[in-house]
Amino acid sequence: MRALDWVRRHDPDFAALRRAGRAAIVMPVLFAFGSIVLHDGQVATFAAFGSFALLLLVDFSGPLVDRVQAQLALAVVGAVLVCLGTLASRPVWLSAVAMAVVAFAVLFAGSVSSVTASASTSLLLAFILPVTLPGTVASIGPRLLGWGIASVVAVIAIVALWPAPAREPLRAPAVDACRALAARLRAEAAAMLRAGSPDLAAERDRAVAEADAAVDTLHTAFLRTPYRPTGLSTSARTIVRLVDELNWLNSVIAQFDHVKITAAIHGPVHVAAFEVKSTSAAVLEEGATLLAQHGGDPAALDAALTLLVEARAGVEAATMALPAGPDPDGGRRVAGEVVTALDPGFRAQELAQAVETVAGNIALTARAERRTWWQRLLGRQPGDLAGPIAAAAERASGFVGWNSVWLRNSIRGAIALGLAVALANLTGVQHSFWVVLGTLSVLRSNALSTGQTVLRGVVGTAVGVLLGALAMLAIGDNRVVIWVLLPIAILVAGVAPAAVSFAAGQAAFTILLVLLFNLIAPSGWTVGLIRIEDIALGCAVSLVVGLLFWPRGAAASLRQALAEAYRESVRYLGATVAFGLARCEVNAAEHPEPRQQALRAAAAARRLDDAFRTYLGERGSKQRPLAEVSASVGGVAGVRLASDAILDLWRRQEEAGDKREGARRSLEDSLARLDGWYDQLASSLIAREPLPTPVPSDPEDRHRLADVVADDLGDGSGHIVARAVRIIWTGDYLDVVRRLESVIVGPVDALGDDLVAPALTRHARRRP
């Protein structure tokens, strides 16, 4: 029971124990079948290491059907790599070049899907093993047989031996966040309508804290994996969008709660705004219920969304009905009153837009999961989503460029593994397979981290050799005892890396190899010494490549990625404003939506996420809690989502009119200030210079904007016209982006060798 409690603390969901337990059963059985029953060393070797690759080195998430499909795809691709590796195993130059090419393809393919990324080590092992064991065309048959046996048994083991529950790291936290945000909306509405009630105020404060905690938990789950947790399936792509959207929604709700209570609290706009808040809560509750299911019916969510759309239209109608009569003082008083009166309507439509975006992605998720097998096979997508192939091409293209961490990692990994194969063959060391595997196991993002991993790897290997030597001295040539100890060694080797440490995993794996090789070709404990030589050579290769290809470390790359992401996001922001102003003109059809700018901004955000994860992955014991580092990249999502909101705002603009040069100049002036500040931020990040001071708020900005659209305020019947309201609301969104500056500078200013300071949690909570 003590051992079980210890494992539960270090391996909470028993994922590592589950994988190790399956491998401890399957690997010895397949090795015995190949060596004792079939009397074929190649079948035994490939069956044993195939089961190791398919059961220990990969753990797909999601429903069981999806995991089986991913496992079958891995088996097929692995079989192809076994054939290619065998054909390329000689001459030496061909094996080195082939290793580099395959390594680059496998590593870079991980950029398009977390499923592919999680399987990269298994795929590389499927090629490393045959390319480092010289063979001919005649060797392909036995090797494929061994891999095929391992593949079939691995699929059966995943289904029948302690099958894992459906694990989707983002779905459950997203459900909790939706419910918490809905509760926050209802609590805030109740507290505002009955101001002065201490019980309702306390309930509101509790709901706010729970919503903040739920959103933080979702973001933490998003950052917990070393790669972006999204595959190419439609549901995986839609769920991952919810992370930024729910975080943004939480900040929007906070701003809505700050709308001042005035004597006009029961006026038409306020009543309509509170209707939006109430229907938004209902939409989030229905969305949470639907997201908690797999393939649920989105009818109830669609009905709730319809009510929200009507409530949003009601806010806009109430806003347009505000009086805007002539002002004998020259229009200034009317303009100022209009600006103040538009606040509740702006916050309400901002909330509605954010909730509609969240609910739309949840509905797409449900519709994607309700597709028939035939519809999935034909690639039919719900909504206007691109298919998996188009999505993969789009994602891969976003990582093409020297500033891409993923591209650099792929190039470095390819060169390191190709060089390891060449050196292993040229130096004539025994078991060259372990040289390449040693390179793969310790290769990291920068030279410093690689050096630390080298030390841990060699120390762990040395400890494993010592323990293996003592075991072999005690066992002697008693093969029965070795067979008994083999599954125990596999179990420990599978659990140790996750539950103890990397060095402990290396030690356990070395003991496993000592036992395994003494079953293949008895040589006592000396096989461990040979492996130390091989691992040391592989570590040296990874260290040299890390020094040559990433001398600055991941912090500098993160700065570069941040700078690029902010620049692309602000360009997208400018394009959405230009689109909105064009919608006011007669020839609005000539100005299409800025789709290309949106795609470039999204690609830059993915590269930033990749750089951030790479940095977190190499921190080791120095890594701070995730809540303290997330705010450094949060501003990028804020700028992009504000741009999305402006785009959505102007899509509904139907009326055209004369060019409003004054409004255009006012918005362009605001954009120019934003563009200049964010460009200076990007330049300062790259050059490691002091960051720009946030631009203070100018209370006159909105009044000047209202002044220049004063001619549009009235429609002849004394009411405000829609385009004037949307112009002013666009200015409000630009002000949201301006307020992000003070949030961004705090966390980003800490970007140095240690990257982030603990104050980020406070900045993240203050995000507007």
Residue 156 confidence (pLDDT): 94
**What mean pLDDT do residues 415-423 have?**
83
Contact 162, 21 (CB under 8 A): yes
Query: In the prediction, which pLDDT does 223 show?
Result: 74
- Mean pLDDT over 738-746 rounds to 79
The alpha-carbon radius of gyration of the chain (Å, integer) is 30
Burial class (CB in 10 A: 0-12, 13-18, 19+), 54: buried
- SS3 at position 231: coil
- Between the CA of residue 208 and those of 179, 214, 495, 628, what are the distances in Å? 12, 10, 40, 20
Q: For 501-551, how does the pLDDT look when each residue is reduced to its tens digit (9 = 90+)?
A: 777 877 787 777 777 767 766 655 555 556 556 656 666 665 666 555 554
Q: Residue 421 and residue 403: Cα distance in Å, rounded?
A: 28
Q: Could you say which of 343, 371, 386 is where a domain stops?
A: 386
Q: What is the pLDDT of residue 753?
A: 39
Query: Nearest Cα to 128, choosing from 91, 93, 84?
Result: 84
248 plus 374 within the same structural domain:
yes
Does the pLDDT value for residue 357 go beyond 80? yes
C-alpha triplet 480, 40, 517: angle, nearest 5°: 45
pLDDT of residue 171: 86
Closest CA to 754 of 609, 629, 626, 627: 629
Sorting pLDDT into bands at 50, 70 and 90, what band is 612? confident
Mean pLDDT is highest, among 383-392, 677-686, 702-711, for: 677-686
Kindly state whether residues 563 and 547 are assigned to the same domain. no
Which are the contacts of 167, defined by CB distance < 8 A and separation ≥ 6? 13, 15, 61, 62
In this prediction, residue 411 carries a pLDDT of 85
| Domain membership flag for residue 186 | yes
Average pLDDT over residues 688-696: 81
Residue 340, domain CATH: 1.20.58
Task: State the pLDDT at residue 84.
Answer: 95
Please say which residue of 102, 134, 165 terminates a domain: 165
Express as a percent the part of the chain with pLDDT over 90: 18
Q: How does pLDDT run across 174-185, given as a tens digit for each residue?
A: 999 999 999 999
Segment (H or E) for 686 = helix 661-687
User: Please, what sign has the CA dihedral across residues 92, 98, 101, 102?
Assistant: negative
Pick the closest to residue 496 from 84, 43, 160, 7 (CA basis): 7
DSSP 390-437: HHHHHHHHHT-STT-HHHHHHHHHHHHHHHHHHHHHHHT-S-HHHHHH
Query: Rounded to an integer, what distance in angstroms lies between the CA atom of residue 384 and that of residue 517?
Result: 55
Q: Is the peptide bond before 328 cis (omega within 30 degrees of 0)?
A: no
The residue among 317, 330, 321, 319 whose CA lies nearest residue 710 is: 330
pLDDT band at 766 (very low <50, low <70, confident <90, very high): very low
Place of tokens 């398919």: 54
Regarding whether 372 and 288 lie in a shared domain, the answer is yes
The CA distance from 712 to 297, in Å, is 45
**Residue-level pLDDT at 613:** 73
For residue 551, what pLDDT is reported? 44
Domain shared by 432 and 481, yes or no? yes
CA dist., res. 727 & res. 701, Å (int): 13
Confidence band (pLDDT; 50, 70, 90) for 569?
very high
For residue 36, give its domain range: 1-165
Band of residue 492 on the pLDDT scale cut at 50, 70, 90: confident
Q: Find the mean pLDDT for residues 566-584.
A: 89
Q: Are residues 114 and 210 in the same domain?
A: no
| Torsion angles phi and psi, residue 323, rounded to 5 | -70, 140
Same structural domain, 621 and 543: no
Is pLDDT larger for residue 514 or for residue 494?
494
Average pLDDT rounded to a whole number, residues 147-156: 95
Q: Is 618 a member of any domain?
A: yes
- C-alpha 161: how far from chain center: 30
Q: How far apart are CA 567 and CA 689, in angstroms?
A: 17
394 domain-assigned: no
pLDDT of amino acid 573: 94
Q: Are 574 and 648 in contact (CB under 8 A)?
A: no
**Structure-derived torsion over alpha carbons of residues 477, 479, 481, 484, reported in degrees to the nearest 10:** 150
Residues 229 and 293 in one domain: yes
Res 591 pLDDT > 50: yes
Do 219 and 336 lie in one domain? The reply is yes
**Number of other residues whose CB lies within 10 A of the CB of residue 39:** 9
Last residue of a domain, one of 487, 516, 551: 551
Measure the CA angle with vertex 256, ends 625 and 635; round to 5°. 40
Cα gap 13→224, rounded to integer Å:
15
Query: Do 538 and 59 contact (CB within 8 A), yes or no?
Result: no
**pLDDT-derived band at 399, boundaries 50, 70, 90:** low
pLDDT band for position 326 (cuts 50, 70, 90) = low
Of residues 296 and 435, the one with the higher pLDDT is: 296
Q: Which residue carries 């200049």 as its tokens?
A: 676
Which stretch, 273-287, 593-607, 656-670, has highest mean pLDDT? 273-287
- Written as six digits, the tokens of 605 are 């955000």
pLDDT band at residue 765, thresholds of 50, 70 and 90? very low
- Please tell me which of 224-228, 532-536, 562-566 the model is most confident about, judged by mean pLDDT: 562-566
The mean pLDDT value for 706-719 works out to 57
DSSP state at residue 142: H
Query: Which region among 492-501, 596-605, 616-625 has the lowest average model confidence (pLDDT)?
Result: 616-625
Q: Is the pLDDT of residue 761 over 80?
A: no
Assess whether 737 and 612 both reside in one domain.
yes
For residues 176 and 170, give the distance between their C-alpha atoms in angstroms, rounded to a whole number: 10
In a domain, 438, yes or no: yes
396 within some domain: no
pLDDT of 526: 57
Q: How far is CA 683 from the centre of its chain?
A: 26
- CA dist list (Å): 764 to 225, 285, 299: 21, 25, 35
Whether residue 627 is predicted with pLDDT greater than 50 in this model: the reply is no
Is 325 among the domain residues?
yes
Instruction: Indicate the range of 90-99, 355-364, 609-618, 677-686 predicted with least confidence.
Output: 609-618
**DSSP string spanning 268-319?**
HHHHHHHHHHHHHHHHHHHHHHHHTSSS--THHHHHHHHHHHHHHHHHHHHH
Question: Taking residues 628-634, what's their average pLDDT?
Answer: 60
pLDDT bracket for residue 202 (50, 70, 90): confident
Residue 328 has pLDDT above 60, yes or no: no
Percent of all residues in the chain with a pLDDT value above 70, rounded to a whole number: 67
593 domain-assigned: yes
Residue 757 has what pLDDT?
33
What would the pLDDT profile of 36-90 be if each residue is shown by its tens digit?
899 898 999 899 989 988 998 887 777 788 788 889 999 999 999 999 999 998 8
Main-chain dihedrals φ then ψ at residue 735, nearest 5 degrees: -70, -35
Asked whether residue 511 falls in the same domain as residue 656, the answer is no
First to last CA, the chain: 49
- Indicate the pTM of the whole model: 0.72
Confidence label for 626 from pLDDT (cuts 50, 70 and 90): very low
Question: 666 and 564 share a domain?
Answer: yes
User: For the chain, what is the mean pLDDT?
Assistant: 76
CA–CA gap between residue 657 and residue 715 (Å, rounded) = 12
Instruction: Please check the confidence at residue 132 and state whether its pLDDT lies above 90.
Output: no
Residues 181 and 279 in one domain: yes
Is the pLDDT reported for residue 141 higher than 50?
Answer: yes
| Residue whose C-alpha is closest to residue 332's, from 612, 713, 664 | 713
pLDDT computed for residue 758 by the predictor: 31
CA dist 425 to 121, 124, 421, 463, 560, Å?
22, 18, 6, 27, 39
As a whole number of angstroms, the distance between CA 217 and CA 212 comes to: 9
Number of domains in the chain: 4
List strand residue ranges (DSSP E) for 153-222, in order.
Answer: none
> 279-303 pLDDT, tens per residue?
999 999 999 999 998 878 899 999 9
Structural domain contains residue 726? yes
Q: Are 692 and 674 spatial neighbours (Cβ–Cβ below 8 Å)?
A: no
- Comparing 240 with 544, which gets the higher pLDDT? 240
Per-residue pLDDT for 657 more than 60? no
Q: Name the more confident of 33 and 655.
A: 33
